[in-house]
Structure 1
Amino acid sequence: MRRILILLATLGSLGLIVGAYGFQYIGGLTPCDLCWPQRYGHFAAIAAGALALVIMPRLFSFLAGLGVLFSGLVAIYHSGVERFWWEGPSTCTSAPVAGLSAEELMEQIMNAPLVRCDEIAWDLFGLSMANYNVMASLTLAGMFFYASRLPR
């Protein structure tokens, strides 16, 4: 049972990475500064999940769970930025324009990132990719953590 859970969760993270790169390279959606760290957690989970299938399944499935949990937490933060619940990092959100001179406004425009974190580039049923990553990552983290607790 443990091996099946680890395999399914690892394949789930792999599927999310393939999907993210599909949206990027086939769909033309360039990732923002908050999209990249969400991928890193899944990369870590894929590596740790693969190791868990071979050696020390309790340790590596727990580490894989931490990887996707990290991705889910970043996705929660990203979702809040997209919904304007809180402000995102200055590297990928827009700044207020009130009170700026023409030169300051032009400088702000010229230094603006190509892809903003506070704009939803794609959604399905009113949910963004970050929203879906929250649900998927937390589910996968639960699977990895549960697998790490199972006896041989």
Structure 2
Amino acid sequence: MTRNLMITLSAGGSAALLAGAYLFQALGYPPCAMCLWQRWPHIAAILIGVVAFRLPGQIMLPALGAIAAATTAGIGVFHTGVERGFWEGPSSCTGGGSLDGLSGADLLAVTGPRVVMCDQVSWELFTLSMPSWNALLSFGLMIGWILAARLSAGSTTAGSSRTV
């Protein structure tokens, strides 16, 4: 395995997960706020991958890619816990906010896009929701970035052509 291959797989994996998120959105599964939060680190990882190709031998860029993958995985774990009721999520997207002062007519008059609550599972496969899958796959991407960083470190030593 080479550094560039690991960067391609890791940044490409983030691109695939991001494309999957947008595909689900196009199929009628609008994202909640925490779903959107999980997308930003993937965007960062893709950009880091592009820059890492332009600056070979840099150990810091794959390390940043690993941090981006770990960040989206962490948000995915947190989101999964909110969905499963292990802990409370932000009141802005879990229905914990107050409706004081609103009448039934006020609530019926609300128009606009469908509101998706962060504590509701909108889709799952093998009992794992989208945030759960994002977390699992992103932890794998994090390992890929770490391998790329190790390979970068090996290539910066005196004449070393270290492979894993």
Residue matched to 2:83: 82
Kindly state the Cα deviation for residue 53 of structure 1 after the two structures are TM-superposed.
Answer: 1.6
What is the DSSP-based 3-state SS (H/G/I as helix, E as strand, rest coil) of the residue aligned with 1:79?
A: helix
Match of 2:19 in 1: 18
1:73-106 deviation line (CA, Å, top 9, x unaligned): 1111100000000011001112399xx98x5674
Q: CA deviation at 1:63?
A: 0.9
Q: Write the distance in 1 (CA, Å) between the matches of 2:147 and 2:52.
A: 13
Structure 1 gap segments, 5+ residues each: none
Letter in 2 for 1:29: Y
What is the total number of aligned residue pairs between the two structures? Answer: 147
Q: Distance in 2 between matches of 1:105 and 1:84?
A: 29
Residue equivalent to 1:140: 141
Q: Distance in 2 between matches of 1:96 and 1:40?
A: 25
Question: CA, structure 1 residues 20+55, in 2 after alignment: closer, same or farther (shift >3 Å)?
Answer: same
Partners of 2:123 and 2:107 lie apart in 1 by: 23
TM-score under structure 1 length normalisation: 0.87
User: 1: distance between equivalents of 2:106 and 2:95?
Assistant: 9
Task: In structure 2, list runs of 5 or more residues that go unmatched.
Answer: 156-164
C-alpha distance in 2 between matches for 1:107 and 1:91 = 22
TM-score (norm 2): 0.81
Contact 2:69 2:142 in 1 (8 A): yes
Matched letter for residue 38 of structure 1:
Q
Task: Tell me the secondary structure at the aligned position of residue 91 of structure 2.
Answer: coil
Answer whether contact 1:52 1:58 (CA < 8 A) is retained: no
Q: Which moved more, 1:42-51 or 1:59-68?
A: 59-68
Q: What letter corresponds to residue 54 of structure 1 in structure 2? A: R
> Which has more radius of gyration?
2
Kept after mapping to 1: 8 A contact 2:91/2:97: no
Q: Does residue 122 of structure 2 align to residue 116 of structure 1?
A: no
Is the partner of 1:91 in helix, strand or coil? helix
| Distance in 2 between residues matched to 1:58 and 1:87, nearest whole Å | 37
